[in-house]
Amino acid sequence: MISGKSSLCISAEEVKTLLREGEICITVVGLGRIGLPTAASFANAGAKVYGVDINESVVGTINSGENRFVDEPGLEDMLRKVVKEGKLHATLRAEPVISKSDFLILSVPTPVLPSKTPDYSAIRTVSHQVGEYMKSGTTVIVESTVGPGTVENLIAPILEAESGMKVDADFGLASAPERSDPGNIMKNLTSVPRVVGASNSRTRDIVAALYEATFGVEVVKVSSPRTANAVKLTENLFRDVNIALANEFALLYEKLGIDVIEVIKACSTKYNFMPHYPGAGVGGPCLPANPYYLIEEALKVGDIPYLIRMAREINDRMPEHIVELTMEALNEVAKTVRGSKIGVLGISYKPNVKDVQLSPIVSICSRLQEMGAILKIYDPLFPAERAAGFDVLDSVEKAVSNSDCILFGVAHEKFKHLDLGYLRSLSGNRSAVVDACHLIDPQEAMKLGFAYRGVGRPRSRNLEVF
Ligand code: SAJ
């Protein structure tokens, strides 16, 4: 504890000084892709940080200074430094560290169940643990993404019941939802403004000062935890809906013989157009899950968010559309999916990130395999590894050689410099190519003799005359 003082009694100014002087103790619960960079950053700013996780190997690797998120630039060096300095220590046992912490940061997963309802079991369990062991004067900060109202109506009552204390009177409660892009987390943590809402303005100011001092980033103070959670969900659902609109345009323009990418690029010349792009579907830990946190809260008050739900249906339909395009392209060269060798380039859920969580390409590969295709997958982030139950090869050549179809799944930086003519020479004769991520030029593919299909793209060569 801060030399015996409560984190509720210090001023925002004092936070910065105490942090620098190593007087602040922080426990981060949940050491995943957000929790670990957060813990390392607080330690690097001077705090004494404990990281709590339920996974023994996670705890072990962290204490040896190893970084398991190899695709997060900047994390490796910082983690090794703070572990070596003894400023960050990971542990499986929450009790001894929670009871001596000034700030407790909850950063555990809040996935969505197959029933499309949020799974708050982890945050519930952690709230019981924290409530049981936390001392008076502690401030609890929820970074996990939850529906608006969850902090006030689910987490706060558990903390009060377990601790016998009262929010504001005995402990502070705040929401500071993470807003970082996987693959750019360390950069985002120090550049993207942080939204903070708390149970009272004093706690909000103290938490804001802690984040400003640690990350050097602007803090947007809002009126409550529920507002902070609404901000996080609004920005992500805005994105999901606009991606769905781009996908809807793509499905229509394919039929109208219009190139949706050409249209979007031209639209982008308009000052208030916000480009979003069609693709294989929406994957990752955030966008496919976030809408259901808000939908659940809406249904509780009798509101039905039609557009948000329809957007989810459109985006979830895209993997099947890519499978249909693959069938069409193979049929064009008198082949069927069954028995065809398909070279899949990219299996991550988005470019340049080593993560297959809810990856649409995984859904596509599973469906093609069910249909009897022989898959040869390459992803530069998973070379010679297994990903989502699939073997990943270690070169483009191994995936593409003698293939009946090349499927571009993810626009990894490494794929942008591939020579399509070279790939044509490697693939079997009369081969097809399907572009799920608008990576290649349709006209070039067709001129090379591929049977081409691309999401939202024309499937015939430009006619010289109309
Ligand atoms: N996608 C499209 N079309 C687009 C953009 C994305 O189909 O125009 C697809 C991607 O391929 C991917 C999925 O949507 O499968 C999600 O893409 P994303 O770029 O939104 O990536 P995420 O899921 O990592 O989103 C995170 C979010 N960050 C947080 O929730 C804290 C999101 O708010 C960010 O906008 C995003 O990172 C980012 O790019 O920063």
Give the pLDDT confidence of 51-97 residue by residue, as tens digits.
999 999 999 999 999 999 988 999 999 999 999 999 999 999 999 99
Asked whether residue 4 carries a pLDDT value surpassing 80, the answer given is no
Q: What average pLDDT does the segment 177-204 reach? A: 95
When mean pLDDT is compared across 20-29, 258-267, 437-446, 456-465, the lowest value belongs to 456-465
Best probe residue, ligand 1, of 239, 356, 358 (max atoms within 8 Å of C-beta): 239
pLDDT of residue 304: 95
Task: Give the whole-number percent of the chain exceeding pLDDT 90.
Answer: 93
pLDDT digits 0-9 by tens, 206-227? 999 999 999 999 999 999 999 9
pLDDT of residue 6: 67
Best probe residue, ligand 1, of 231, 287, 356, 362 (max atoms within 8 Å of C-beta): 287
Between strands 390-393 and 405-408, the pairing is: unpaired
pLDDT of residue 134: 97
pLDDT of residue 461: 72
User: What secondary structure, in 3-state letters, does 95-111 show?
Assistant: HHHHCCCCEEEECCCCC
Instruction: Give the chain's domains with CATH numbers.
Output: 12-223 (3.40.50.720), 234-466 (3.40.50.720)
Ligand 1 atom nearest to 358, measured from its CA: 15
Asked whether residue 5 carries a pLDDT value surpassing 70, the answer given is no
Angle between helices 56-63 and 75-84 (to 10 degrees): 80
Task: For residue 29, give the H/E element and its range.
Answer: strand 25-29
pLDDT digits 0-9 by tens, 262-288? 999 999 999 999 999 999 999 998 999
Asked whether residue 465 carries a pLDDT value surpassing 60, the answer given is no
Pair 292, 298: CB distance under 8 Å:
no
Pair 203, 139: CB distance under 8 Å:
yes
Is residue 232 annotated as a catalytic residue, yes or no? Answer: yes
Ligand 1 atom nearest to 359, measured from its CA: 15
Would you give the DSSP letter of residue 153?
A: I
Q: Calculate the CA dihedral of residues 235, 238, 244, 246 and round it to 10 degrees.
A: -100
pLDDT digits 0-9 by tens, 102-150? 999 999 999 999 999 999 999 999 999 999 999 999 999 999 999 999 9
Average model confidence (pLDDT) across the chain: 95
Among the options 232, 335, 341, 350, which is catalytic?
Answer: 232
Q: What are phi and psi of 103, to 5 degrees?
A: -130, 140
Is residue 84 annotated as a catalytic residue, yes or no? Answer: no
